Amino acid sequence: MTRQSVRRHPLIWFAVASIVLSWWAWPFYLFGLLPNPIAAFGPFLAALLILALTEGKSGVIGLFRRMGRWRVGPGWYLTALALPIVLSGIAVVINRALGASVDLATVDIDWLGLASTFATVLLIPGVGGAWEEPGWRGYAVPRLQSGRTALRAALILGVLVAFWHLPLIAVGQVIWTDVIQIIGAVILFNWLFNNAGGSVLIIMLAHASNNTVWSTLTSKVVTEPYFFRQAALQAVVWCAAAVIAVLVSGPTHLSHRHAKQEEPPPPRPADLPHAPPRALR
């Protein structure tokens, strides 16, 4: 990796760095030294690295500003927190209609445990997926959307994010149907990101909500032999919601009221203006 190469192809190097800075945990997991085969904060570190090499201090500060962008309409906070709950609930209802044994009356909701899990996923890097988002949404999306439709940018990112999860799929922590759900989730999260004025914080809340709902509620409500079908149904429901978001908001911006978030890549060295030669004295 050279500075000139990174400046010419920042998104490609971001993708490579995200994988390298995340997958290093895989061999440690195989030897029982780490609980997860992937370091979830890898995309965040990759974004910081690429920004430092291409844009310097201003680029890094810009990322942190997106992460702290909290002045967003309260409706988008509600949407971020409720969307995973609603979609998981729809999948549970469908699963039950198909014959799954789901007894909601016997589920004892530990509200303190829910709050603790949510706070852990949101605030501690490496636990859950919230700290992926400064990389995916904070860095990659505004640059992918520059010169592309928001939908096309989401599909490109969806492929990268799905591939990034390969170690989790390989060890059985993530079901292969989640690859399909990831594509739908990326579209929905990009829709949320563009409508929330480019707030990474909103997306981190949504990601933390999704991880919390799946790990502490859905996995308890639906058990074997209906658990795999639940995962498959959630993939279908998330993708269906993504299709609705595209049809309603349009593929260009994934928003009717706001333009897609764009940050063009920094100029290449060859594109920088050259100062005229100084006159000889």
Question: What DSSP string describes the chain?
Answer: --HHHHHHSHHHHHHHHHHHHHHTHHHHHHTTSSS-SS-TTHHHHHHHHHHHHHTHHHHHHHHHHHHT-----HHHHHHHHHHHHHHHHHHHHHHHHTT----GGG----HHHHHHHHHHHHHSTTSSSGGGHHHIIIIIHHHHTTTS-HHHHHHHHHHHHHHHTHHHHHTTSS-TTHHHHHHHHHHHHHHHHHHTTS-HHHHHHHHHHHHHHIIIIIHHHS-TTSHHHHHHHHHHHHHHHHHHHHHHH-TTTS-SSSPPP--PPPPPGGGSPPPPPPPP-
Q: What is the pLDDT of residue 101?
A: 76
Say whether pLDDT at 117 is over 60.
yes
Contact at 8 Å (CB) between 164 and 46? no
With the C-alpha atoms ordered 273, 274, 278, 279, is the resulting torsion angle positive or negative? negative
Q: What is the pLDDT of residue 129?
A: 87
One-letter amino acid for residue 187 of the chain: I
Say whether pLDDT at 265 is over 70.
no
Q: What is the pLDDT of residue 273?
A: 53
Contact at 8 Å (CB) between 222 and 102? yes
Say whether pLDDT at 275 is over 50.
no
Q: What is the pLDDT of residue 227?
A: 84
The per-residue pLDDT for range 187-237, each reduced to its tens digit, is 999 999 999 999 999 999 999 999 999 888 887 778 778 888 989 999 999
Among 94-103, 211-220, 264-273, the least confident range? 264-273
Q: Considering the chain, what percentage of its residues have pLDDT values greater than 70? A: 91
User: Taking residues 169-182, what's their average pLDDT?
Assistant: 91
* Average pLDDT over the chain, rounded to an integer: 90
Say whether pLDDT at 95 is over 80.
yes
DSSP 8-state code for residue 41: T
In the structure, what pLDDT confidence band is assigned to residue 267 with cuts at 50, 70 and 90?
Answer: low
| CA atoms of 266 and 213, how far apart (whole Å) | 39
The radius of gyration of the chain from alpha carbons, rounded to an integer in Å, stands at 20
Say whether pLDDT at 149 is over 90.
yes
| CA atoms of 212 and 207, how far apart (whole Å) | 9
Q: Considering the chain, what percentage of its residues have pLDDT values greater than 90? A: 71
What pTM value is reported for the model?
A: 0.91
Contact at 8 Å (CB) between 179 and 161? no
Question: 274 or 120: which carries more pLDDT confidence?
Answer: 120
User: Taking residues 101-105, what's their average pLDDT?
Assistant: 67
User: Taking residues 236-240, what's their average pLDDT?
Assistant: 97
The per-residue pLDDT for range 13-70, each reduced to its tens digit, is 999 999 999 999 999 999 999 999 999 999 999 999 999 999 999 999 999 999 999 9
In the structure, what pLDDT confidence band is assigned to residue 281 with cuts at 50, 70 and 90?
Answer: very low
Q: What is the pLDDT of residue 279?
A: 46
What 3-state DSSP class applies to 245? helix
